[in-house]
Amino acid sequence: MRSPIPDSVMPSLNQELERFRPSAIAEMFSLASRLKAQGRDIVDLTIGEPSFKTPEHIKRAAIAAINADVTKYTSSSGNLELRRAICAKFERDNGLVFHSDQILVDSGVKPLLFHAMKAMLADGDEVILPTPCWTSYPGMVVLAGARPVFVPCSQDAGFKLQAADLERAITPSTKMLVLNSPSNPTGATYDAAGMRALTDVLLRHPDVWVMADDIYEHVVCGDFKFATPAQVEPLLYDRTLTLNGVSKAYSMTGWRIGYAAGPERLIRAILQVLSQTTGCACSVSQAAALAALNGPQTFLREWAESYEMRRNHLVARLRDVPGLSCNLPEGAFYLFPSCAGLIGKLTPQGQTIGSSTDFVRFLLQEHGVAVVPGSAFEYDPHFRISYAVSLVELERACERIERACRALTWERPSLA
């Protein structure tokens, strides 16, 4: 058996990898999965994946595409019929008019975000990331050669970026603002008035691109009216890349279809990157996405109402747990409670809870609930809960979270 080669004599790796961590969401999901494989009873609230099945008409469209041998490469920008359907979606839902050459389809929003950043950013550029932010944004910015600039958004402000804070964060090096609404991990969502306050600032800085990640657009609560930057301020139309996809709205996470709309010059630039990487999105998945966008939409509201019911139940339960505080978000299927009231307390084993990471580990290892620490989203001491699971599972989680919090004490346990 050959001995392993010491790292010191192996070829070097990209040093930029030392500047960010692997996805903490993926790490917690993997840890929870390993514990399940060992026979542990784990309530897993780590992954933002709808509990609903992909609708039947979408699956039938994919099967029909396979049977019709629609299994070859498509254009790098995506199937023309699908791009036209995306244009119709933007006009129907957002009042935005695009033509097919302004649309790009990729293998999910995640690679599309990275491909766009590679096309838009250069060494020394700064990218404003309102925090808490999705775990992958900072790493993508770094890999694109730019520098993330974190702008904290307080829980008191609903975790929403404030115009004054945005103004202060913009420098001569600022190249992009990333806006994720509804937000992962907080569920914070901007209405037209809230978005207008930000777009008014952006109008004063014509060299800043706007990246609008709208993947949770259809997961909003009650009568809340979602708004996207280019819709609110038409003068930003030529400076905005609006991203969306079918994963969250249509419960198609594994189908891997994301799309973007923007000025044609920018779309061509992103295509240059995409053509050397993913090449094109899966042809069968594109056929399914076409059925999703052109098919019935009424179930989207029904699903959103189901998420809202889960949200309301979970918030009410968590607000009764000592040491936790939780706001009521307008969208997505996440909560981002604060565990500040637990910091400094001791576990029954005598270990100090010094951060959200400590609490999350205790919660998983001792009480069988998997969540994601706030440090993964550049914001502590909070943690993210995905409530895209059944109400039964959420109640099981609540009971365990409450037991875990009540088990913590300010007094060191006796060793006698």
Span 37-55, mean pLDDT?
94
In our burial notation (b when 16+ CB lie closer than 10 A, e otherwise), range 337-371 reads: bbbeebbebbbeeeeebebbbbbbbbbbeebbbbb
Handedness of CA 366, 368, 373, 376 (dihedral sign): positive
Domains, the chain, in order of start with CATH, read: 7-52+299-406 (3.90.1150.10), 72-296 (3.40.640.10)
Strand order in 334-335's β-sheet?
A: 334-335, 383-386, 372-373
Q: What span, in angstroms and rounded, lies between the C-alpha atoms of 126 and 56?
A: 44
Q: Does pLDDT of 1 surpass 70?
A: no
Q: What is the pLDDT of residue 29?
A: 80
Task: Please give the helix or strand (H or E) that residue 128 lies within, else none.
Answer: strand 126-131
Q: What is the pLDDT of residues 281-316, one digit of tens each?
A: 999 999 999 999 999 999 999 999 999 999 999 999
For the chain, what is the mean pLDDT? 94
**Please, are residues 217 and 184 in contact by the beta-carbon 8 Å criterion?**
no
| Residue at 288: amino acid letter | A
DSSP H helix total and E strand total for the chain: 13, 12
pLDDT of residue 413: 59
Residue type, 285: S
Q: What is the pLDDT of residue 61?
A: 98
User: pLDDT by residue (tens digit) across 183-223?
Assistant: 999 999 999 999 999 999 999 999 999 999 999 999 999 99
* DSSP helix/strand/coil, 370: strand
pLDDT at 97 over 70: yes
**Residue 373 is inside which H or E element, if any?**
strand 372-373
- The torsion angles phi and psi of 176, rounded to 5 degrees, stand at -155, 145
185: helix, strand or coil: coil
Identify the pLDDT of residue 4: 63
Given this model, what pLDDT does residue 32 score?
Answer: 84
Interval 352-379: pLDDT, tens: 999 999 999 999 999 999 999 999 999 9
CB 186, CB 330: distance < 8 Å: no
- DSSP letter at 236 equals G
**Amino acid found at 229:** P
Beta strands in 254-330 (DSSP E): 258-261
CA distance 161 to 198: 8
State how far the Cα of 145 lies from the Cα of 122, in Å rounded to an integer: 6
Residue 90: which H helix or E strand, with range? helix 80-94
pLDDT tens digits, 320-336: 999 999 999 999 999 99
Q: Mean pLDDT, to the nearest integer, of 133-139?
A: 95
Residue count (the chain): 416
Measured from the Cβ of residue 162, the count of other Cβ atoms closer than 10 Å reads 17
pLDDT at 13: 80
pLDDT at 314: 97
Percent with pLDDT over 70 in the chain: 95
The values of phi and psi at residue 266, to 5°, are -70, -40
Question: What's the rounded Cα separation, in Å, for the pair 210 and 120?
Answer: 11
pLDDT above 90 for 11? no
pLDDT at residue 89 tops 70? yes
Q: What is the full DSSP assignment across 270-292?
A: HHHHHTTTT-S--HHHHHHHHHH
CA distance 32 to 364: 8
Provide the pLDDT for residue 415: 55
pLDDT-derived band at 114 (thresholds 50, 70, 90) equals: very high
Global pTM value: 0.94
pLDDT value of position 245: 98
- Name the pLDDT band for 35 (thresholds 50, 70, 90): confident
Is pLDDT of 5 > 70?
no
Percent of the chain with pLDDT over 90: 89
Q: Which residues pair with 211 in a beta bridge?
A: 178, 241
The pLDDT assigned to 36 comes to 86
Considering only residues 21 and 404, tell me which one the structure prediction assigns the higher pLDDT: 404
Interstrand relation of 258-261 and 334-335 (parallel, antiparallel or unpaired)? unpaired
* Dist CA 142 CA 121 (whole Å): 10
What is the per-residue pLDDT for 332? 98
How far apart CA 374 and CA 75 sit, in angstroms, is 40
Evaluate if residue 128 carries a pLDDT over 60: yes
